[in-house]
Amino acid sequence: MEWETVIGLEVHAQLLTKSKAFSGAATQYGAAPNTQACAVDIALPGVLPVFNKEAARMAVKLGLAIGAQVNRRSVFARKNYFYPDLPKGYQISQYELPVVSKGTLTIDVDGVEKVIGITRAHLEEDAGKSLHEDFHGMTGIDLNRAGTPLLEIVSEPDLRSSKEAVAYLKKLHQLVVWLGICDGNMQEGSFRCDANVSVRPKGEKKFGTRAEIKNVNSFRFVEKAIEYEIERQVGVLEGGGTVVQETRLYDSDKDQTRSMRSKEEAMDYRYFPDPDLPPLVLDDALIEGVRATLIELPDAKRVRFMSQYGLNKYDAGVLTSSREMADYYEAVVKQAKADPKIAANWIAVELSGFLNRDNKDIAQSTVTATMMAGLLRRLADNTISGKIAKDVLEAMWAGEGNADAVIEKKGLRQITDSGAIEKAIDEVMAKNPKQMEQYRAGKETLFGYFVGQVMKATQGKANPAQVNELLKKKLAP
Ligand code: ADP
Ligand code: MG
């Protein structure tokens, strides 16, 4: 039997506000335990939450970016459960009326575009953290993270493979970072994902029973966890069993998921509107104010790069992977007055090669946009050849200065003086009488050999086009 996979993702994006969702405590990552937890965060009796409007602005920003409905009135609700890292005994969330609903995100898998529905995005607060190490058999509680604002973004069950799921996740990650509402740091837990996975016989209309895989914190693990889960569920069904609806954990060391709790045991959260908080009412001024700050979004920029600069989809995609990258590219094109396609190649392929190799992002590049523009100018005015330019870029990357400094220091200036090139050719011909004879007797494949010898004799600095032209003349019988 053929099986079809159905996936829906719930993403928690930590919002980049300076203070918490309902208190004035700082949200900075990595502070000493419990130094950023105030009376509200540790739930002392009698405290009252005050909502941080900046979090609402960020939620609206996402809503506008995914073409969603931004709800003028949404309601904070209490989600009740007991856990040591949740001192209030409930999490403030949004339930029936979220701040954002009905958006979409377009993904691209192997060149095929697909629109994925986003059911809702709602505001909520994070819990604290239990620390199980270093406490000699006891558990430590760090409440620094308690009350940090989160935006939970829930997709429709529109994804049909682990590849689509990862593409969606990457796209959403790019967007929240682009909008400046989340730092996207997955190791630190700023962007994490629960994957809901089910399978059904191909052609079946009804969804199968799903398992929810909790808190997967890398793109690779999401893909692996889903793949494992698909195989497990198909195995259960083909063995005549039934999939139980449950919450599972992904263990990356063993590359498998295991049951955490079944849905039957799942808590009844007893959601109800939080009496301490008024409904969140957004007026036109706020929404329009946010709209006015919306910058060109990644998809629009990619399409513009393709039409304005004649780039292919791949290069345009790489060059719009982040705002910094896109700004870098446009700065180079402007400063170097370079052919946009050549500039694209040098950034999306050559420079990106170094960035990937050394695991850096463009903001950390030793080669600034001005330096890259300088390199392209020397390429355009024939001071150096493309091959030498790669060496110059490597030296620039290693911190040896700008293109002119590297070219000067290493004596890489291209030889365009035809007299000098002819002299090198004469020497090569004198040293290779046998090859000359063979070439003139018709072995034309030797032409490449002569080009190579001349380039070698000039340490790669001779202008390749001139070498070709002059060699042809001189070698002719
Ligand atoms: P809960 O809050 O209990 O997790 P939701 O209705 O909010 O339930 O659904 C959570 C996620 O599960 C959504 O992303 C949704 O698309 C996805 N989902 C729902 N049904 C299925 C299914 N049968 N298979 C896979 N994903 C599903
Ligand atoms: Mg869920």
CB 6 near ligand 1, within 6 Å: yes
190-201 pLDDT, tens digit each? 999 999 999 999
59-114 pLDDT, tens digit each? 999 999 999 999 999 999 999 999 999 999 999 999 999 999 999 999 999 989 99
- Give which of 143, 132, 138 is closest to 44, Cα–Cα: 143
143-176 pLDDT, tens digit each? 999 999 999 999 999 999 999 999 999 999 999 9
391-428 pLDDT, tens digit each? 999 999 999 999 999 999 988 888 888 898 999 999 99
C-alpha 383 to ligand 2 mean position (Å): 60
C-alpha 64 to ligand 1 mean position (Å): 23
Mean model confidence pLDDT for the chain? 94
C-alpha 25 to ligand 2 mean position (Å): 28
Q: What is the mean pLDDT of residues 237-249?
A: 94
- What pLDDT band is residue 461 in, cutting at 50, 70 and 90? confident
Asked if 329 and 318 touch (Cβ cutoff 8 Å), the reply is no
pLDDT at position 267, please? 63
119-135 pLDDT, tens digit each? 999 999 999 999 988 88
pLDDT at position 93, please? 97
Indicate if the pLDDT at residue 266 is higher than 70.
Answer: no
Ligand lying nearest the CA atom of residue 211: 1
Give me the percent of the chain exceeding a pLDDT of 70.
99
How far is the CA of 288 from the CAs of 152, 177, 425, in angstroms? 23, 21, 70
296-346 pLDDT, tens digit each? 999 999 999 999 999 999 999 999 999 999 999 999 999 988 899 999 999
Q: Which residues touch 416 (CB under 8 Å, ≥6 apart)?
A: 382, 463, 466
- What pLDDT band is residue 180 in, cutting at 50, 70 and 90? very high
Between CA 236 and CA 244 the distance in angstroms is 10
C-alpha 8 to ligand 2 mean position (Å): 9
CB 7 near ligand 1, within 6 Å: yes
* Atom 5 in ligand 1: residue holding the nearest Cα: 154
Look-up of token digits 């030296």: 395
> Whole-prediction pTM value?
0.88
Looking at per-residue confidence, does 456 or 119 come out higher?
119
Indicate if the pLDDT at residue 184 is higher than 90.
Answer: yes
CB 226 near ligand 1, within 6 Å: no
C-alpha 259 to ligand 2 mean position (Å): 15
373-392 pLDDT, tens digit each? 999 999 998 888 888 999 99
pLDDT at position 261, please? 75
Which atom, in ligand 1's list, is nearest to the CA of 155?
14
For residue 17, give the amino acid letter.
Answer: T
Between CA 381 and CA 393 the distance in angstroms is 16
Look-up of token digits 């870029």: 393
Q: What is the mean pLDDT of residues 270-285?
A: 96
Q: What is the dihedral of CA 387, 388, 391, 396, to 10 degrees?
A: -130
Q: What is the mean pLDDT of residues 229-234?
A: 97
Can you read off the two tokens belonging to residue 472? 């042809």
